[in-house]
C-alpha cells in the first residue's frame, strides 16, 4: 500500500517529464553545490594546514621585517633592522629550544657565464645551514645539499628551475653560478627537485617561492658579503644592514611551543630597540587558527549552497502549486471516492519528496564525481588555454577539492526537508479544497 502511494507519485510526475526534470534540476544543483562548495572549502583549508604543517608544528619562526623606508632626507647612514646574531644566541640559550637555524636572504641577479643565451635571472640567494633542508622539506635531485664540512666553502645548491634555465643541455654539478652584484662565484654541488610554492601563512609570513633559489652556507655569505647591502638605483642610494632574515627555533617538545614563543617574544622585546623589526610566527598556533577558520569556511560555503537549495525548494513549491491547480479535478474525484484530507496531503507531499530525493541523489552522484571533474577541468584548461591558466595564482591551481563525508547526508537531508517544507503548503492547499468545487473545476 505504502509502496503503491510512491508508485502513484512517480506516475503522476512522469505525466509531465520535462517539468519534473526541471524541478529536479533545481534541487540537484542545490545539493551538488553544497557538496562541491564544502569540498572546495575543505581543499582550501587542508592546503592551508599543510602549508602550516610544512613549517613544522614544533618550530617557532622569527623573521626580520624591513621597516618602510620613510626617511625623506638623504642619509648616508645604513638603516639597521632585523634579528641579530646576538639575539639568536639568546634564543639558543632558552632551555626548551633544541636548535636554532639562521637564514639570511638576498634578492639578486644570478648568471651562468657558460651559457651566453641565458639572461641573468633574479632570484633568492639564501645563506643557510644544512638544517635548512629539513625544515623546508627540500628534496635533492642530484648531488647533495650543503653539508657541515662545507660551511666555509664557496659552494651552492640550486633549484630545479634554475638548473633547467641555465643548464638545459649540461650537467650543472661542478659548474659555477656567478653573482654579478657581489662578483662571487659558487660551484654547484647539488640540484633540488621541484618544490611547489607555499601560500602565505598567517599575517607575517608571506608565501615562499622556491623556484629561483640558490643556497649557500651562511658563514660563507657572511665572510664574502658582510651585513651591509647597498642598492643603487636612478637618483637614489640605499644602504641597509641586517644580520639575519629569519631564525627558526626548533622546540624540543611540541607541548612547550606556546610557552617558548612567549619567552622568545619577551627576550626580543628586551633586546631589540623600539622598532618592531621582527615578526614571530608560531605554526602551532596558526594550526589551531586554521582549524577554526576551516569551520568558518565551511559555515559560509554551506550557507551559500543552502541558499541555492532553498531556491530549488521554491521551484518545487511553484511546480506543485501549478500541479495542484491543474489536478483540482483529480483531487475532487479522489475525495468523492473516499479520500480524506490526509490522503490528499500525503499524495502531493510524496510527489515533492520524490522530486527532491531524486534531485538529491543525482546531486550527490555529481558531488562524488566533483573532485575528479575539477581535476579534469584543470587539465583541460591547461590544454586549451595554457596562457590563461598560467595566470591563475599557483595557490588556487593547487587547491584540490576534498569531499567532506558529512556533506552528503547534510545536503540530502536539507533537500528532503526543503521538499517537505515547500511541498507542504501546496499539499495542504490541495487537501483543503472543497470536493464539490474541485469536481466542478474545468
| CB 331 to another protein: min, Å | 10
Give whichever of 190 and 332 is closer to another protein, judged by the CB atom.
Answer: 332
- In the three-class reduction of DSSP (H, G, I as helix; E, B as strand; rest coil), residue 339 is classed as coil
DSSP 374-393: HHHHHHHHHHH-HHHHHHS-
Q: Would you give the binding string for another protein spanning residues 70-89, x where CB under 8 A is met?
A: --------------------
Q: How far is the CB of 354 from another protein (least distance, A)?
A: 14
Report the site for another protein in 310-329 (rule: CB under 8 A). 329
C-beta neighbour count of 398 within 10 angstroms: 16
CB neighbour burial string for 323-343, b if at least 16 within 10 angstroms, e if fewer: bbeebbebbbebbeeebeeee
Residues 331-370 interacting with another protein (rule: CB under 8 A): 332-343
**CB of 58 or CB of 351, closer to another protein:** 351
241 near another protein, rule: CB under 8 A: no
Q: Which of 4, 148, 232, 270 binds another protein (CB under 8 A)?
A: 4
Q: Can residue 234 be called a binding residue for another protein (CB under 8 A)? A: no
x-marked contacts with another protein along 276-315 as a string, rule CB under 8 A: ----------------------------------------
**Is residue 198 part of the contact set for another protein (CB under 8 A)?**
no
Residues of this chain, 201-220, that bind another protein according to CB under 8 A: none
Give the three cell numbers for residue 296.
Answer: 568558518
Strand partners, 27: none
CB burial string 203-222: b at 16+ within 10 A, e below: eebeebbbbbbbbbbbebbb
Using CB atoms within 10 A of its CB, is residue 81 exposed (0-12), middle (13-18) or buried (19+)?
A: buried
Reference 301, options 435, 191, 425, 404; nearest CA is 404
- CB nearer another protein, residue 258 or residue 435: 435
| Cell, residue 357 | 530525493
**Please, are residues 349 and 18 in contact by the beta-carbon 8 Å criterion?**
no
CB of 367 to another protein, least distance (A): 32
**Nearest CB to another protein, comparing residues 379 and 436:** 436
Pick 384 or 436: Cβ nearer another protein:
436
Interface residue with another protein among 12, 33, 184, 415 (CB under 8 A) is: 12
The reply on whether position 3 binds another protein by CB under 8 A is no
Stretch that binds another protein, among 8-16, 129-137, 208-216, 316-324 (CB under 8 A): 8-16
379: contact with another protein by CB under 8 A:
no
Identify whether the C-beta of residue 217 lies closer than 8 Å to the C-beta of residue 155: yes
| 435 lies in the site for another protein, by CB under 8 A | yes
In this structure, are residues 278 and 268 in contact, taking their beta carbons and an 8 Å threshold?
yes
Stretch that binds another protein, among 12-20, 162-170, 237-245, 353-361 (CB under 8 A): 12-20
Instruction: Give the strand order in the sheet containing 79-80.
Output: 79-80, 236-241, 228-233
Q: Cβ neighbours of residue 219 under 8 Å, at least 6 residues apart?
A: 151, 152
Cβ proximity to another protein: between 279 and 435 the closer is 435
CB atoms within 10 A of CB 181: 16
Q: Closer to another protein at the Cβ: 26 or 332?
A: 332
Options 221, 330, 352, 354; binder of another protein; rule CB under 8 A: 330
Decide whether 14 or 72 has the Cβ nearer to another protein: 14
Does 17 help bind another protein (rule: CB under 8 A)?
A: no
Distance, in Å, from the CA atom of 146 to the CA atom of 381, rounded to the nearest integer, reads 39
**What residues line the site for another protein (CB under 8 A)?**
1, 4, 8, 11-12, 14-15, 329-330, 332-343, 435-436, 439
Amino acid at each position: 500500500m505504502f509502496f503503491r502511494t510512491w508508485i502513484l507519485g512517480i506516475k503522476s510526475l512522469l505525466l509531465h517529464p520535462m517539468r519534473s526534470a526541471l524541478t529536479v534540476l533545481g534541487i540537484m544543483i542545490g545539493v551538488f553545490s553544497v557538496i562541491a562548495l564544502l569540498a572546495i572549502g575543505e581543499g582550501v583549508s587542508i592546503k592551508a594546514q599543510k602549508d602550516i604543517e610544512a613549517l613544522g608544528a614544533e618550530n617557532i619562526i622569527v623573521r626580520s621585517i624591513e621597516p618602510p623606508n620613510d626617511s625623506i632626507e638623504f642619509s648616508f647612514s645604513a638603516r639597521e633592522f632585523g634579528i641579530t646574531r646576538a639575539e639568536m644566541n639568546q634564543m639558543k640559550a632558552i632551555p626548551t629550544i633544541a636548535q636554532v637555524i639562521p637564514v639570511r636572504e638576498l634578492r639578486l641577479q644570478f648568471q651562468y657565464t657558460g651559457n651566453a643565451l641565458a639572461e641573468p635571472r633574479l632570484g633568492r640567494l639564501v645563506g643557510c645551514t644544512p638544517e635548512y633542508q629539513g625544515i623546508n622539506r627540500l628534496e635533492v635531485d642530484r648531488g647533495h645539499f650543503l653539508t657541515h664540512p662545507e660551511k666555509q666553502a664557496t659552494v651552492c645548491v640550486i633549484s630545479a628551475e634554475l638548473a633547467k634555465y641555465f643548464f638545459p643541455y649540461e650537467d650543472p654539478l661542478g659548474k659555477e653560478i656567478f653573482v654579478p652584484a657581489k662578483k662571487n662565484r659558487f660551484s654547484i654541488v647539488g640540484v633540488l627537485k621541484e618544490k611547489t610554492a607555499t601560500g602565505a601563512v598567517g599575517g607575517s609570513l608571506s608565501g615562499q617561492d622556491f623556484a629561483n633559489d640558490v643556497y649557500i652556507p651562511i658563514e660563507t655569505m657572511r665572510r664574502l658579503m658582510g651585513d651591509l647591502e647597498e642598492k643603487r638605483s636612478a637618483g637614489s642610494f640605499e644602504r641597509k644592514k641586517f644580520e639575519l632574515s629569519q631564525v627558526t627555533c626548533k622546540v624540543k617538545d611540541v607541548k612547550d611551543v606556546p610557552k617558548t614563543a612567549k619567552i622568545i617574544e619577551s627576550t626580543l622585546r628586551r633586546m631589540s630597540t623600539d622598532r618592531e623589526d621582527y615578526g614571530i610566527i608560531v605554526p602551532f598556533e596558526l594550526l589551531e587558527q586554521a582549524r577554526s577558520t576551516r569551520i568558518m569556511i565551511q559555515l559560509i560555503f554551506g550557507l551559500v549552497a543552502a541558499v541555492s537549495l532553498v531556491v530549488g525548494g521554491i521551484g518545487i513549491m511553484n511546480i506543485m502549486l501549478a500541479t495542484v491547480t491543474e489536478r483540482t479535478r483529480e483531487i475532487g474525484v479522489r475525495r468523492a471516492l473516499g479520500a480524506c484530507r490526509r490522503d490528499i496531503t500525503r499524495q502531493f507531499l510524496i510527489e515533492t519528496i520524490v522530486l527532491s530525493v531524486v534531485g538529491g541523489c543525482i546531486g550527490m552522484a555529481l558531488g562524488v564525481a566533483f573532485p575528479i571533474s575539477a581535476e579534469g577541468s584543470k587539465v583541460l584548461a591547461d590544454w586549451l588555454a595554457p596562457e590563461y591558466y598560467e595566470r591563475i595564482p599557483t595557490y588556487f591551481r593547487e587547491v584540490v577539492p576534498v569531499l567532506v563525508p558529512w556533506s552528503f547526508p547534510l545536503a540530502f537531508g536539507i533537500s528532503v526537508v526543503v521538499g517537505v517544507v515547500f511541498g507542504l503548503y501546496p499539499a495542504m492547499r490541495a487537501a483543503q479544497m472543497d470536493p464539490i468545487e474541485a469536481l466542478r473545476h474545468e
